[in-house]
Amino acid sequence: MNLEVLFSGFGGQGILFISKMLSYAALESGLNVTWFPSYGPEMRGGTASCSVVMSDRKILSPIVLRPKYMVAMNYPSFNKYESKVLDSGFMLINSDIVKSYNRRSSVNYLDIPIQSMAKSISEKVFGNIVMLGSLIKVMNKISMDSIFDVFTSYTNAKFSIEDNKRALKIGYDFV
């Protein structure tokens, strides 16, 4: 098994955080993992992306060129990477921001209104966690419990672990 995921969005949308949570959960599940971030010098507003490769074998390259799973948190990310998604792959799209687009018939698109769903939890930003919940449901390789475990170890103290768990479950149940 070799799973390649590409996360992308604006800096500040939590792309690096959710890609780390997935990576740590995969490690705790006994998989080999690479986590390869790429971002501009801007802290917020610049483009951020992250390649995550998970495998039960040795990983030869940390760079994801043709992802089976793609997370697009904004339109520039969708526009830049959509053509790279493998045929029969999955593209999870933040439909609160990316409203309309052309679809390839060979790709499975999931429009997920992450900000709208996250607002039911808190005024704080949990949209990225909602997206992570949807992604793990679609991938069906990493358990919710594995993600819950890494939340306990790696979540910033200013964000409630229970709120993160609720956001993850909302995203998971949406798909």
Mean pLDDT over residues 1-8, rounded?
96
Q: Tokens representing 11?
A: 């800096």
| 113 three-class SS | coil
Report which of residues 78 and 42 the model is more confident about.
78
Q: Give the number of other Cβ atoms within 10 Å of residue 44's Cβ.
A: 9
pLDDT-based confidence at 158, cuts 50/70/90?
A: confident
Give the pLDDT confidence of 92-137 residue by residue, as tens digits.
Answer: 999 999 998 889 999 999 999 999 999 988 766 899 999 999 999 9
pLDDT above 70 (res 27):
yes
Parallel, antiparallel, or unpaired: how do β-strands 47-55 and 32-39 relate? antiparallel
- Topology of domain 2-174, per CATH? Pyruvate-ferredoxin Oxidoreductase; domain 3 (3.40.920)
The size of the chain, in residues, is 175
Taking each continuous run of H as one helix and of E as one strand, the counts in the chain are: 6, 6
pLDDT at residue 47, rounded to an integer: 79
Q: Where are the domains of the chain?
A: 2-174
pLDDT at residue 41, rounded to an integer: 66
Give the pLDDT confidence of 143-156 residue by residue, as tens digits.
Answer: 999 999 999 888 77
Please name the helix (run of DSSP H) or strand (run of DSSP E) that holds residue 154, with its range, or none: helix 144-154
| CA distance linking residue 10 with residue 15, whole number of Å | 8
